[in-house]
Amino acid sequence: MLPDGTTHIDGEDDIVYVRKQVRDLASGIGFNLTDVTRIITAASELARNIYRYAGKGRMKYAVLHQRGAVGIELEFQDEGPGIADIPQAMEPGYTTSRGLGLGLPGSKRMMDEFHVWSEVGKGTIVTIRKWKRNN
Amino acid sequence: MLDSNVSVLKLRGILFVTVPAEPGDDLINHLQQKILESMEQHEAKGLILDISTVSALDSFFARTIVETAQMVGLMGGRTVISGMRPEVAITATQLGLSLGNILTALNMDRALDMLEGLEEEEWDR
Ligand SMILES: Nc1ncnc2c1ncn2[C@@H]1O[C@H](COP(=O)(O)OP(=O)(O)O)[C@@H](O)[C@H]1O
Ligand SMILES: [Mg+2]
C-alpha cells in the first residue's frame, strides 16, 4: 500500500509540507474528512513544536494494519532541549513561548493514541496514532 | 511574491480578505500586516476575513486571527470571520481554540449583513 517514510522538518515551509503530506496519507487511507482534519491539525502542531523548540527534526509516518483495522502513525522526533516536566507541558495553556499552550493537549484529544518520550538535553519524541472507524 | 497571494478588497467601508488555502507562517504574518495597513489607509469600519478555503486551523494561525481582530478593534473596526468549514470548526473546538468574542458567519454575505446590522444598531442608540 502506501510507503512508510520520513520527512525532515527544518523550517517553516516544512510545516506546510508536513500538512500536505499528512493530508495525502490520511485521505489515501480513507479517513473521513473530520478525522483527516484532526490528523493534519495535530501534525501541524507537533511539527511546529519541533521547529520552534528544537530548530529541526523529522516526522516518521507509517500505515498500520492490526487485526483488520487500518490506522496511521506519525512520530515527531527531535534532538532539541527536551521537556523537563511532561505533565506540566501537557496542561492546556502551559507554554514557554507565548503560544496558546494547546499543541500537546489538543493533539492528545484529537488522536486515539498519544505518547511523549523526552529527556532533557537529548530530545523529544511524540508519537500519535489514529484508527479508521469502519462505518 | 507573497503579495500576489493576498488580496484586500474594500467595498462600502468594509475590507474583504480571503485567506489562501494552506497558508504558511510567512503568509499569515504578511496577511496580518496587510490588513492593518489597509484598515488605516481606507479608514475601514470593518473586516470580513473569509477562511472558507482553509482546511485546517492550528493554534498559531488561530492566535494570529484573534490578534488581528483585536488590533482591528483598537482601530475602531469590527471583524467577522466567515466560511469556517464544519470539520475545521469541530477540530478547532477539540483543540481547545476559542476565537474570543470575534463574530463568525456562514459566508461573506451573512458576514456583511452582520456588520451592516451592527452599524444600524449603533445609529439607533
Ligand atoms: N519538541 C519539543 N521540544 C522541547 N519542548 C517542547 C517540545 N514540544 C513542546 N515543548 C514544550 O511544551 C510546551 C507546550 O507545548 P504546546 O502544548 O505545543 O504549546 P505551545 O507550543 O503553544 O507552547 C511548550 O511551550 C514547550 O515548553
Ligand atoms: Mg505548540
Q: Give me the tens of pLDDT residue by residue for chain B, a chain 125 residues long.
A: 455 567 899 998 999 999 988 888 888 899 999 999 999 999 999 999 999 999 999 999 999 999 999 999 999 999 999 999 999 999 999 999 988 889 999 999 999 999 999 878 777 76
pLDDT attached to residue B125 = 65
Cell of B55: 482546511
In this structure, which amino acid lies at residue B42? H
Name the domain count of chain B. 1
pLDDT attached to residue B1 = 46
Which residue out of A77, A91, A104, A122 has the highest number of ligand 1 atoms within 8 Å of its CB and is therefore the one to mutate? A104
Dihedral over alpha carbons B81, B74, A98, B66 (to 10 degrees): 0
Instruction: Pick the closest to residue A2 from A85, A68, A72, A105 (CA basis).
Output: A72
Q: Which residues of chain A have pLDDT under 70?
A: 1-3, 135
Tell me the pairing of strands A123-131 and A113-119.
antiparallel
In this structure, which amino acid lies at residue B54? V
pLDDT attached to residue B122 = 74
Q: Is A91 on the interface with B (CB under 8 A)?
A: no
Q: If you write DSSP's letter for every residue of A104-123 in order, what string do you get?
A: HHHHHHHSSEEEEEEETTTE
Ligand nearest to the CA of A58: 1
CA–CA separation, A7 vs A42, rounded Å? 16
pTM score of the predicted model:
0.93
pLDDT digits (tens, 9 = 90+) for B2-29: 555 678 999 989 999 999 888 888 888 9
User: Which CATH number covers residue B78?
Assistant: 3.30.750.24
The parent domain of residue B63 ranges over 2-124
Cell 484529537 identifies what position? A110
User: Domains in chain A, please, with CATH?
Assistant: 5-131 (3.30.565.10)
